[in-house]
Amino acid sequence: MQILGTLASVACLIPLILVVIKMFQAKGPLHGILGIICGLYAFIWGWMNAEQQGLKKVMIIWTVLIIVSIALNGMTAMTLQSVE
């Protein structure tokens, strides 16, 4: 379970990179660098501009990956807590 949670967390980097690339293209280097530094900003910007930038599928996938990652990592933490 821990491996799946880690894989889901790492998989979240792919949509982040795609959104940051769009940020560089649409808003310039300042927003792109801010998106690299603060993933939450990139996530919010991606949803706010999903239709305009053609990122709807990417944002849905990214949201699902975040939810799955939180769920799997939470389940792993609860399992490890009960073992102790």
Q: Does residue 84 have a pLDDT over 70?
A: no
pTM equals 0.87
Please provide the DSSP assignment of 12-75 as one string: THHHHHHHHHHHHHHH-HHHHHHHHH-HHHHHHHHHHTHHHHT-HHHHHHHHHHHHHHHHHHHH
Predicted confidence (pLDDT) per residue in 39-79, tens digit: 999 999 999 999 999 999 999 999 999 999 999 999 988 88
